[in-house]
Amino acid sequence: MKIGFIGLPQSGKTTVFNAVSPHHQESHMGAAKMEVKRGIVKVPDERVWELAKMYEPKKVTLAEIEFMDVGGVSGKKGDISRTEKDIPPALREPEVLAHVVRVF
């Protein structure tokens, strides 16, 4: 599963990303370009290990969640005439978008 953190500049996207990801990133305040920081977390599940004991597979693969800190998302105030081609490619990749709201 891929989860992308979006929100206004300086809303705390990188702070949330650092809280859930083992790959801590520095916050680039005022970064205007669209850059994506990624962190992958393996989801521990005791049931997987119990099944592995029963069936003895060659390989055990845990579920993974990929967190994406999408920076530089902004638009013109009041501009609602955006089309699909205006959406940055970094926002098309995640399966879930988590909107980080500033100062709340």
Specify the amino acid at residue 22: P
Predicted local distance difference test score (pLDDT) of residue 102: 84
Within a domain: residue 66? yes
Instruction: Please indicate, yes or no, if residue 104 is contained in any of the structural domains.
Output: no
Cα separation, 61 vs 17, in Å, equals 24
Residue linked to tokens 């003895």: 56
The pLDDT value recorded for residue 29 is 56
Q: Which residues pair with 70 in a beta bridge?
A: 36
Number of domains in the chain: 1
pTM value?
Answer: 0.76
Residue 94 lies in a domain: yes
Q: Residue 38: beta bridge partners?
A: 68
* Residues with Cβ within 8 Å of residue 64, at least 6 apart in sequence: 1, 40, 41, 42, 43
Please indicate, yes or no, if residue 36 is contained in any of the structural domains.
yes
Q: Is residue 55 assigned to a domain?
A: yes
In this structure, how many other beta carbons lie within 10 angstroms of the beta carbon of residue 7? Answer: 19
pLDDT per position in the chain (104 positions), as tens? 999 999 888 889 999 999 998 876 676 655 556 678 899 999 999 999 999 999 999 999 999 999 999 876 666 665 555 555 666 788 889 999 999 998 76
DSSP 101: P
Structural domain including 40 reads 2-99
Domain assignment present for 11: yes
